[in-house]
Structure 1
Amino acid sequence: MYEPNVTGDWQEYDEHAGLRVRVHGLEPAQPPRGRDDAAEGLSYFRFRVTVENRAAEHFGIHLEDGQIDVRIGADGESALLDWRNSQFIEGFDLYPLRRVTAVVYAAGADACLTQVDIQIVLKVDDEWTDRYLWSGAIGLDPEGPDAPSGAARESLACQVSNFLRGEEAGPGAA
């Protein structure tokens, strides 16, 4: 069964051996070039998408706003993606033992930021890769003083896995 990644986890690509990607650094943040007018009343956050090449050859990497989908809250509402403040990866040749990172700014209602799902689909050498999903939250400190090491991270991963198992079993199965 397909299970989403937890923010910070690396995802290896089967179709491009040695290439891996991760979504990490999910945190509240103000955009560097000012707020988008459409984000009035919303809270900004940012995350990073890092692509790493551990193969012997180079890959052409492309990642822009149409290849990133950010959903927030229990109902999976779309977050506002601030393309003006974000830094994407556009036609970058990623050589062996190198990384490239995109910094993405988004905004959403405070109450919904306890569940953030980020779906990424890379374009590698003019071919689309599989879509992968990362789940995280803003406001949960996995290494906080009151939490055992990794407790929040494991808890979120367990919740997502249990939910997906319930969906796989079909509606009404619990």
Structure 2
Amino acid sequence: MYEPNVVGDWQEYDGHAGLRVRVHRLEPAEPPRGRDDAAEGLTYFRIRVTVENRGTRSFGVHLEDGQIDVRIGPDGEGAFVDWRNSQFIEGYDVYPLRRVTAVLYAAGPESSLSQVDVQVQLRVDDEWTDRRMWTGGIGAHEESVAAGAACAGAQGGLVHQISNFLRDQAEPGTAG
């Protein structure tokens, strides 16, 4: 079964040696050029998607609108994505030991932002990669929950479950 990444994790692509991507800095933020009227009453947040080349050759990378899908809340409803204020990666050559970052502004009801899923599908050298998913939340703080502690309510529940699962898998001597 395919397991989602936690926001902040790097995901490497098998078909493109040294190329990896991550979704990170999922945080509340206002867009730089003002709010879109369609987002009236919604809470804005920012997502950064970074592509890094640790290989020996350059890759032509595309990460544009339609290649990033943002879902929020327990039902996975689509977030409002502010395409006008977002900054994408459009045909950029990522040389070895270099990075490039896309910044996406989205919005949704504040009550749904404790669970945010981001799905990314890169186009590398005019070939589509497999889709990858990251999960996280706004206002969910893993540091404040002790390992193995039960999560009360929906506040960060999925994030805590994934973090605990990954922590259990990484600990030496854990049965598995």
Given the two structures, how large is their TM-score scaled by the length of structure 1?
0.85
Q: Name the structure 2 match of 1:68.
A: 68
Q: Name the structure 2 match of 1:170.
A: none
Q: Name the structure 1 match of 2:46.
A: 46
Question: 5+ residue gaps in structure 1?
Answer: 162-174
Over the matched positions of the two proteins, sequence identity in percent amounts to 70
Q: Name the structure 1 match of 2:101.
A: 101
Change (3 A) 1:156 1:48: farther
Letter in 2 for 1:102: A
Q: Name the structure 2 match of 1:165.
A: none
- Residues 66-145 of structure 1 mapped to structure 2, 5 A cutoff: 66-143=66-143
Give the secondary structure class of the aligned counterpart of 1:38.
helix
Q: Name the structure 2 match of 1:155.
A: 160
Give the secondary structure class of the aligned counterpart of 1:104.
strand
Matched residues in 1 for 2:35 and 2:25: separation? Answer: 20
Q: Name the structure 1 match of 2:21.
A: 21
Matched residues in 2 for 1:34 and 1:127: separation? Answer: 35
Q: Name the structure 1 match of 2:4.
A: 4
Map Cα deviations across residues 97-128 of structure 1 (whole Å, 9 max, x no partner).
Answer: 00000111000011110100000000000000
RMSD over aligned CA atoms reads 2.1
Given the two structures, how large is their TM-score scaled by the length of structure 2?
0.84
The question of whether the paired residues in 2 share the 8 Å contact of 1:61 and 1:122 is answered with: yes
The question of whether the paired residues in 2 share the 8 Å contact of 1:65 and 1:81 is answered with: no
Matched residues in 1 for 2:160 and 2:54: separation? Answer: 30
In the TM superposition, what is the alpha-carbon distance from 1:158 to its structure 2 partner?
A: 5.5
Letter in 2 for 1:85: N
The question of whether the paired residues in 1 share the 8 Å contact of 2:115 and 2:159 is answered with: no
The question of whether the paired residues in 2 share the 8 Å contact of 1:4 and 1:135 is answered with: yes
Give the secondary structure class of the aligned counterpart of 1:65.
coil
The question of whether the paired residues in 2 share the 8 Å contact of 1:136 and 1:156 is answered with: no
Matched residues in 1 for 2:14 and 2:22: separation? Answer: 15
Question: 5+ residue gaps in structure 2?
Answer: 150-155, 167-176
Matched residues in 2 for 1:35 and 1:28: separation? Answer: 13
In the TM superposition, what is the alpha-carbon distance from 1:87 to its structure 2 partner?
A: 0.7
Moved over 6 A (4+): 151-154
Equivalenced residues, count: 158
Matched residues in 1 for 2:78 and 2:165: separation? Answer: 18
Change (3 A) 1:159 1:83: farther
In the TM superposition, what is the alpha-carbon distance from 1:142 to its structure 2 partner?
A: 2.6
